[in-house]
Amino acid sequence: MQTYFIELSYLLASILFILGLKGLSHPETAKRGMHLAEFGMLMAIIGTLMHHQIVSYTWILSGLAIGSVVGLAMGVWVPMTAMPQRTALSHAFGAFAAALVGISEFYRVGGHLDTITMGALGFEVMLGALTTTGSLLAFAKLQGLVRGTPMTYKGQNIFNMVLLAGTIGIFVYLIFVPGSMPLFFTMVGLAFIFGLLLVMPIGSADMPVVMSLLNSYAGLASAATGFVLSNNVLIIAGTLDGFSGFILSILMCRAMNRSMTNVLFGAFGSAVTAAGPGSEQHGSMREVSIDDIAVQLAYASKVVFVPGYGLATAQAQHAVRELADVLEKRGVTVKYGIHPVAGRMPGHMNVLLAEANVPYSSLYELEQINPEFPSTDVTVVIGANDVVNPDARDNPNSPIAGMPILEVDKAKSVVVLKRGQGKGFSGLENPLFFKPVTGMLYGDAKDTLTRLVQAVQHA
Ligand code: NAP
């Protein structure tokens, strides 16, 4: 009866995880998807707690209490702008848990493991260990605790490959001769070191892609844990996590027109790549006033807002919605152009704008909005930089050459809201700011938008 209940709760949890993922694939159903997945996790926990192999609940309940407090605190106090580093920490915890389960299982029955179980266990521990240190370094880079630019040295890729080959070599040996405790711990140690070395040469700008990849590793490590423990829900959830993370990494690379190899081994954002030939700028930026822009907006027939990372740091999502409301009341058509990698995580802009109740029907993806720019009277770029950098289209020597951009420079007029001369995440200069069609409106985006609302009302 007990086993029947456990398997039923695992089946239910797995179905809910799949429905949850499906819901998360669309902004309108994302919230419901999240709730379904949460309920699925509750089912999986309840099922696991019913397990007859549990002899004492003391440690489990202590872990549950500590984990809940940490999780709640992170959910309540970590701001949206720090979500990438928060996710990196979660991956590190999850992967470390998988590695520890594998280590304790090897410690318990090491020498008696059959080939398949040892293969799954070695895979779990190796991926778990490298994901732990890789995610911790990703967290430190994103949080600014260590330098965010790529850390490189001569022969780095070859050294990393040799280390990885050595780790895999020990892993393969252990599959056939599983008894050696020293070799097992050497493999674990090398995997921990490899995680650090893997992330070291990757700059902060590429960190979201790397984290999505690490997320995929953590998922696969959990799936392997499921094989070791004969736990179905771990196998299913881990595989879903593993493959969705991998697909997301590929989609992000595609949106930046970069290959996965380039992201992992290209040291993008280092001094060498940042100063691509042809990236130097001439001329000056043209500063405009709130009143001028307010008049342009008030008498426009079509306005497109293009939000970027600055919208998130300024928390200007409600202010932009207010400006849109005021303009729409005057009969102006308002649309939002959303770049797939605007901000610092996939769907960043969608989440922020949904929080301010911007109707989903007003959001347009890159391919939909680009043909509309020539007929747009005013395009308002709000704290976006790299995703509107025309060098990606016009300068074949630019490090971001070929990255699809929002072609805002084709609009009749462009106004850029940013605080000053700060660069985007890639560290590149943006020729858009020097074009005659562009006016610069300096200041914090929320503050500028709030003042624009008042000015448009009096225009
Ligand atoms: P961005 O290139 O990072 O530029 C953000 C701009 O916002 C900066 O130039 C900054 O200029 C301005 N800003 C910052 N705080 C502001 C504030 N309070 N008010 C007004 N402006 C403010 O942003 P993006 O155009 O959204 O591009 C995203 C970048 O992240 C791309 O390079 C993308 O490849 C990378 N990335 C994103 C993802 C993802 O999943 N979204 C994944 C991987 C990589 P000032 O300092 O002058 O204000």
- Residues 325-357: tens digit of each pLDDT: 999 999 999 999 999 889 988 788 988 898 899
Structure tokens at 33: 């998807």
For residue 275, what pLDDT band results from cuts at 50, 70 and 90?
very low
What's the whole-number average pLDDT of the chain?
Answer: 89
Closest ligand 1 atom to Cα of 343: 26
pLDDT at 152 over 90: no
Q: What percent of the chain has pLDDT over 90?
A: 59
Atom 22, ligand 1: which residue's CA is nearest?
310
Closest ligand 1 atom to Cα of 389: 25
- Dihedral (Cα; 23, 28, 34, 37), 10-degree rounding: -20
Total Cβ atoms within 10 A of residue 122: 28
Segment 70-90 mean pLDDT: 86
CA 255-140-347 angle, to 5 degrees, is 30
What is the whole-number distance in angstroms between the Cα of residue 424 and the centre of ligand 1? 5
Q: Which residues of 212-247 are buried (b: 16+ CB within 10 A; e: fewer)?
A: bbbbbbbbbbbbbbbbbbebbbbbbbbbbbbebbbe
What is the whole-number distance in angstroms between the Cα of residue 389 and the centre of ligand 1? 11
Segment 284-299 mean pLDDT: 94
> What are the backbone angles phi and psi of residue 358, rounded to the nearest 5°?
-70, 125
For residue 180, what pLDDT band results from cuts at 50, 70 and 90?
confident
Q: What is the pLDDT of residue 238?
A: 93
What is the whole-number distance in angstroms between the Cα of residue 385 and the centre of ligand 1? 6
| Long-range contacts of the stretch 235-242 (C-beta < 8 A, 24+) | 236/14, 236/17, 237/13, 237/14, 237/17, 237/44, 240/17, 240/18, 240/21, 241/215, 241/216, 242/216, 242/217, 242/218
377, 360, 253, 441: which is closest to 31 by C-alpha?
A: 360
Closest ligand 1 atom to Cα of 419: 48
Structure tokens at 324: 């849109």
Distance CA 343, CA 309 (A): 4
Strand partners, 414: 379, 438
Distance CA 13, CA 31 (A): 17
Helices (H), 330-421: 348-355, 366-369, 391-394
Q: How far is C-alpha 67 from the chain's CA centre?
A: 23
Q: What is the pLDDT of residue 269?
A: 57
What is the whole-number distance in angstroms between the Cα of residue 407 and the centre of ligand 1? 16
What is the whole-number distance in angstroms between the Cα of residue 360 and the centre of ligand 1? 22
Atom 48, ligand 1: which residue's CA is nearest?
419
User: Is the pTM for the entire model greater than 0.75?
Assistant: yes
Closest ligand 1 atom to Cα of 207: 43
pLDDT at 277 over 50: no
Residue with tokens 């342009």: 296
Residues forming the active site: 386
Tell me which residues have their CB closer than 6 angstroms to ligand 1.
205, 208-209, 252, 256, 308-310, 313-314, 341-346, 348, 383-387, 417-426, 444-445
Q: CA distances (Å), 96 to each of 40, 192, 203, 219, 454, in order?
A: 22, 10, 23, 12, 52
What Rg do the C-alpha atoms of the chain give, in angstroms? 25
Instruction: Tell me the best of 385, 421, 430 to mutate to test the pocket of ligand 1, counting ligand atoms within 8 Å of each CB and taking the most.
Output: 385
